[in-house]
Amino acid sequence: MDGLTGDLAGLSQPLLPSHNTLRRQLASTAISADPEPAAQQLLGPPSGRVAAHVLIEELPALNPHSSLWDTSVNLTNAILGAGMLALPHAYAGLGVSGGVLLTAAVGAMTHASIALMLRPTERSGKLTYAAVMEAEWGRWAGAAVRFSIVVGSAGFLVLYLIILADLLVGSEEFSGIIPDLWPGLPDPLPWFLQRTAVLTWVTLLVAPSLLPKTLGEVALISATKILCTVICVAALVVLAVALLVQGRLPQVHWLPDPAFFGDGSWTRLRGVLAVVPVIMTAFVCHMSIHPCVQDLRQYSPPRMRRAVAASLSIAGAVYALTGVAGLCVWGSAVKGDVLSNLNIDFVAAALWGNVPLACAFVATVKVAMAASMVLSFPITIWPMRQDIIEMLADYFGSRQLTQSAYYLLTYLSLLAIYVVAISIQSAYRVVGLVGSTMGTTIAFVFPGMLALRDQQGGLPFRVFGCALIAMGLLLTVVGVLSTDDG
């Protein structure tokens, strides 16, 4: 390829046709025979780790269940997370144009980094992130990916549980759904509405959503989650329009506003470094890519890339609308968590003094956000569970989990997440630290390492890989420092 544009465009081109061929061969060989000998015949003798990966990596692809639509909505679910609540605050500093342009740029960069992950996947036939990294960099890299995915996914799930509890009973920053609907409750709340009890009820509420065993079945859950997210964004748009009609929109900056970050160069630099990572990490979904590859019917490189592009486009539009609408409603007064601004008094004033309507409005938004947190669990826990299964296979050989063992592992994982959620004292700080390290490593550092091993990509791929690694390390340092300050 002659230049950077041509080389990056090559990310969307298939490398080898062996991926689908392997699926067809494995399926046809296993139709009338025991799956394990069939897999051994195609993929080699059962010797230690290789035999374990035969069943863990290849056999799930025998009966893929997801359409292109299913894969797109599942990836969109994986992208849309609690971080969108901080986008209006980031847009307040970056301005409308700065926020939208950075969101679009990060979305495009994420598409390129995912394409970098898919190239060695299609070249080698390895169908898990860890297996691809292990094939390219060795066992230590595969172990690092598994550790990052398990710890990172668990950290996100702990955060979701805590946000759910806060949405129900409130926090120091905002009131909860229950106190809003029943203001006559005593203070402090009864024992069954205390933090530990609410986390218990929330965990039980989440449990049924983890029953699906294929991503095709998870797709309906993901579509519902996207609908709940759209309801929250639409609520911000309604408030912005109401304020516009009344002529009460706050001042909105189209360009970056240095004064938003404070006085003095050092203070402003720290402020920028605190908000930019909110957008830079908003599209992280790399841990969910390989499970979607396994389950996509009629897999082909262009087909998978269309699903990725559609997901990133939907998420980017939701993010931009969230940031702009939140900025138009609260201006520079918007807080780091937009729910902290969403109180009944403010909403009632925006809705022409209609307090009952404001109560229903705020409750609807918080219920929709709570539902979206619940519906995030199936797609978030999926790669975590898959990597645990892969690690177990390394130790116990090529043995697939029975249905009872599968659900036992699923709900033991949920129990562990629940125990962590009720045990740690500074939940947001701990989870923020996990996200700033594991999330950036999965989304930036590991794809960059894969780019360095892509011999066909040449110098432009290696330059892009180095840039990804540098950004990942920088975001990790900034995230750790911001967590310490927070």
Residues 96-134: tens digit of each pLDDT: 999 999 999 999 999 999 998 899 988 888 888 999 999
Q: What are the distances in angstroms from CA 63 to CA 66, 288, 366, 478?
A: 10, 18, 38, 43
In this structure, what token pair is assigned to residue 84?
């969108």
Quote the pLDDT of residue 56.
32
Q: What is the dihedral of CA 74, 120, 465, 471, to 10 degrees?
A: 30
Q: Is 297 exposed, middle or buried (0-12, 13-18, 19+ CB in 10 A)?
A: middle
Q: Report yes or no: 268 and 261 within 8 Å, Cβ to Cβ.
A: yes
Quote the pLDDT of residue 212.
92
| Terminal alpha carbon distance of the chain | 46
Quote the pLDDT of residue 351.
93
Quote the pLDDT of residue 436.
67
Q: 136, 121, 15: which is closest to 58 by C-alpha?
A: 121
Beta partners for residue 148, in sequence order = none
Q: 285, 309, 319: which is closest to 439 by C-alpha?
A: 285
Quote the pLDDT of residue 25.
37
**Report field, pTM of the whole predicted structure over 0.75:** yes
In this structure, what token pair is assigned to residue 74?
């599942």
Measured distance CA(416)–CA(484) in Å, rounded: 25
DSSP string, 309-373: HHHHHHHHHHHHHHHHHHHHHHGGG--SSGGGT--HHHHHHHTTT-HHHHHHHHHHHHHHHHHHH
- The CA radius of gyration of the chain, in Å to the nearest whole number, is 23
The helix/strand/coil state of 66 is strand
Quote the pLDDT of residue 403.
85
Quote the pLDDT of residue 330.
94
Q: Name the stretches of the chain with pLDDT < 50.
A: 1-62
